[in-house]
Amino acid sequence: MFTLNLPKFTPKLIEKNGKRLIWDPVRQKFVAFTPEEWVRQNFVHFLLTCKDYPQALLNNEVLIKLNGTTKRCDTVVYNRFLEPLLIVEYKAPHVSITNNVFAQIARYNMVLHVKYLIVSNGLQHYCCQMDYECQTYHFLENIPTYNELSL
């Protein structure tokens, strides 16, 4: 397991048919243990335990239709009316956060139109708040708590 720039987390791991699996509390099942999944599970744990995000308002691997193709958002956070509020895109720790990663999440946002975007490789985390009125965005210094999202 990689050491990440997130609070310490001890996941549930099992081995089945020679493959390592990690428990995803959001999807309520064991999933393939990959470097990107390690980042996702650590980041979700961080959102739940440190930022007070309600587990019931998170969804992993959300399918969307974009230009006639099916895409998958890594994590979507919803408001209390079940409207998309935030998208998180994860990369493995060895993958650099580049403009291409932001372009990817921006494409997903063309469908969901959320207020916040987060990109993380477990070592670096970037959060930006969208300003649709001015057609711009600005980066935040910290990941907001769930209550701060709806202000």
Which tokens sit at 96?
A: 């650099």
Verdict on whether the full-model pTM lies above 0.75: yes
* Domain map (residue ranges) of the chain: 13-149
Note every long-range contact of 8-12, with CB atoms under 8 Å and residues 24 or more positions apart, other chains counting. 9/41, 9/42, 9/45, 9/46, 11/41, 11/45
- Report pLDDT for 141: 95
Domain 13-149 has CATH 3.90.1570.30: yes
Residues 36 and 92 sit within 8 Å (Cβ to Cβ): yes
Q: What is the pLDDT of residue 66?
A: 87
- Mean pLDDT, the chain, whole residue set: 94
**Using 50, 70 and 90 to split pLDDT, how confident is the model at 150?**
confident
Indicate the pLDDT class of residue 22, thresholds 50, 70 and 90.
very high
